[in-house]
Chain A
């Protein structure tokens, strides 16, 4: 079973060098323990563009789809047998990246 662990930032900005080092250490652990699927960090949502091409004519909107103080700053996709394991990984991830995180199961 795969879970998305989203990193929620509320304006603290990009990770510090210490935070980056802690995230690297956590990533190494995910890989060695077989939980690693994928991960990535995101820039601030300011330069985002929303595209709607449902009608076949792409409309571009400047800015993020949701204006909010809190935004998605990065994510992990992890492999875990159940929510208890995923919650433990998420709790460690939150500690390492020094941000709130959200856990959601993939379908």
Chain B
């Protein structure tokens, strides 16, 4: 029974919230009524059995609960009903190019007029169905503060009239990349969790990010960047268990037990990357990142890695995204092809912008170590350890430093 309810929660939560938001034009009412419908299911399904169509049952139950709430409130405040009706008018627009109400919900929660923090929180609550305490825990924020963040975001959507719709074709690429940025933040927080008392990898966050990205990929199968972000997440997630040792230490790519990678996830990620290459459209940021990870995961041994391909992809990536972090990753490929000295020169040019980024110091430390400049390497490891927020990474860097002798 528990399993049936969990499955219904995964499969139906966003659909019920989306359909109620469209019907009542109010995220608050939709969220509360949906939560109530699931609470009713938890009470009733064990005795009555799972209904033949759980989604329809939940939507109907939630609708009744929403109507009850609106009736109660309308007795108090007729003005609010007028506001709701006015908003509802708006949601009778014809559906955009993609016909799924959940997409409207996703685009509304990831609206660019909301702060990134609010977008992440709102998406996890309204689309992912995570509870406020769960989201608060995930981002190491007090529950009350997280509750306020979500409440404020919903209030802004209502007061400023952020529309409940899929953006026009003209705005779609920019808005999709805004949605993907939210999902990438969620995934990365799971993949490289920060904080001294957190697990180094928070599987519940990476899993949630993948689940939501899968959903968007199903809803927008032709969008190359969506497919690529999914591939990137799958190829990263595939290495999860090999990435942290039994003693809780980060294992770098070159030292991972490749037999421990999840072959099914690797295969799925590779297939998505190949499909994108076959589409022949100029690749965006996530497509190049996914391709780089496909190269990494194609080598049976780190020694077989096609570094010239990795470098060529990084050159392409620098043109799309000229950020210093990309330049830093490019230098790692340079080290494999042209040696650590050339790479170090490239890394040192990034000192100004990346001075407070732990990976900059960790990369320098490794290059200096390979050049036998142990004293400088040690200093760079010290700096990296000081700045790294991930417990597994700190453990790895500390061991490497102490091995310098």
- Which residues in A have some Cβ–Cβ distance to B below 8 Å? 1, 81-84, 86-87, 103-105
Q: Which residue of chain B is the closest to A87 with respect to CB atoms?
A: B113
Q: In the complex, how many angstroms separate the beta carbon of A41 from the nearest chain B beta carbon?
A: 25
C-alpha spacing A81/B91, complex, angstroms: 12
The listed residue (A81, A87, A105) touching B90 by CB distance below 8 A is A81
| Chain A residues in 8 Å Cβ range of B163 | 81-84
Tell me if B162 is interfacial: C-beta within 8 Å of chain A. yes
Residues on B with beta carbons closer than 8 Å to the beta carbon of A103? 160
Q: Is the CB of A1 within 8 A of B113?
A: no
Residue on A nearest B171 in the bound complex, by CB: A84
Give B124-163 interface residues, CB cut-off 8 Å to A. Answer: 159-163
Interface bin, chain B: 10 to 19
The residues of B that contact A1 with a CB separation of less than 8 Å are: 161
A83 touches B167 (CB 8 A): no
Closest to A88 in B: B171
Whether the Cβ atoms of A105 and B113 lie closer than 8 Å is no
A81-B90, A82-B90, A83-B113 as given contacts; A105 in contact with B167, CB under 8 Å: no
Q: How far is the CA of A104 from the CA of B191 in the complex (A)?
A: 38
- The interface bits of chain B over 76-120 (1 if a CB of A lies within 8 angstroms of the residue's CB, else 0) are 000000000000001000000000000000000001110000000
Q: Which B residues contact A (CB, under 8 angstroms)?
A: 90, 111-113, 159-163, 167, 171
Closest to A107 in B: B159
Beta-carbon contact of B167 and A84 below 8 Å? yes
A83 to B160, CA, bound (A): 6
For B90, what are the chain A residues with a Cβ–Cβ distance below 8 Å?
81-82
Note all chain A residues with C-beta closer than 8 A to B112. Answer: 87
The answer on a CB contact under 8 Å between B161 and A82 is: yes
Instruction: Name the B residues within 8 Å of A105 (CB-CB).
Output: 159-161
Q: How far apart sit A86 and B160, CA to CA, in the bound complex (Å)? A: 10
Cβ distance A75 to chain B, nearest Cβ, rounded Å: 17
Collect the chain A residues with CB atoms within 8 Å of residue B159's CB.
Answer: 105
Residue in A83, A86, A87, A105 with the greatest tally of chain B CB atoms within 10 Å? A83
Contacts of A84 in B (CB 8 A): 162-163, 167, 171
Given the complex of chains A and B, what is the CA–CA distance between A71 and B159 in angstroms? Answer: 24
In the complex, chain B residues whose CB is within 8 Å of the CB of A83: 111, 113, 160-163
In the complex, which residue of chain B has the Cβ closest to the Cβ of A105? B160
CA distance A104 to B90 in the complex (A): 20
Ranked nearest first, the 7 interchain pairs of A and B with the lowest CB-CB distance are A82-B163, A105-B160, A83-B160, A82-B161, A83-B162, A83-B161, A84-B163
Chain B residues closer than 8 Å to A81, beta-carbon distance: 90, 161, 163
List the A residue with the shortest CB-CB distance to B162: A83
- Return chain A residues, CB-CB under 8 Å to B162: 82-84
Nearest Cβ on chain B to A93's Cβ, whole angstroms = 16
10 A-B contacts, Cβ less than 8 Å apart? Answer: A1-B161, A81-B161, A82-B161, A83-B111, A83-B162, A83-B163, A84-B162, A84-B167, A105-B160, A105-B161
Chain B residues closer than 8 Å to A82, beta-carbon distance: 90, 161-163
Nearest CB on B from A104, distance (A)? 8
B90, B161, B162, B167: most-surrounded residue (chain A CB, <10 A): B161
Q: In the complex, A103 Cα to B111 Cα: how many Å? A: 15
- Chain A residues within an 8 Å CB radius of B161: 1, 81-83, 105
Q: A81 CA to B161 CA in the complex, in Å?
A: 8
Q: How far is the CB of A84 from chain B (nearest CB, A)?
A: 5
In angstroms, Cα B140 to Cα A26, docked, is 46
Of all chain A residues, which has the CB nearest B161?
A82
